[in-house]
Amino acid sequence: QEQLVESGGGSVQAGGSLRLSCTASDYIYFNDWMGWFRLAPGNQREGVATIYPSTGRTHYADSVKGRFTISQDNAKNMVYLQMNSLKPEDTAMYYCAAAPPPVALMSVLKTDAYKLWGQGTQVTVSS
């Protein structure tokens, strides 16, 4: 059974940094878009960043551009989300997810495109 395994997260003060990691099987990693989403209380799940490991193409939500970086390690089938200059509003449960192709560019950060989800990891940013 395919699964996504996340690690990282935790609690930091505003301005701090955290790195999330997500690993997948070869089939998922080299075929799917790998994205990070977040869900904060009272909000809808939001696409944060995504990467297509086969090409390295990335997309970001406007709210995190310049602060978050999504990257890959093909040797480990790992996708990372480096989060810098964290703000209290970044507090949420963060999920790794995989979207099988084809995915329209307008949908790469849309929840509906993603079919496989990790268990989530909490990120808390205090002011």
Residue 2 has pLDDT above 90, yes or no: no
Burial class (CB in 10 A: 0-12, 13-18, 19+), 67: middle
pLDDT at 72: 96
Average pLDDT of every residue of the chain = 96
Q: Cα-Cα-Cα-Cα dihedral of 61, 64, 66, 69, to 10°?
A: -80
Residue 1 has pLDDT above 90, yes or no: no
pLDDT digits (tens, 9 = 90+) for 38-65: 999 999 999 999 999 999 999 999 999 9
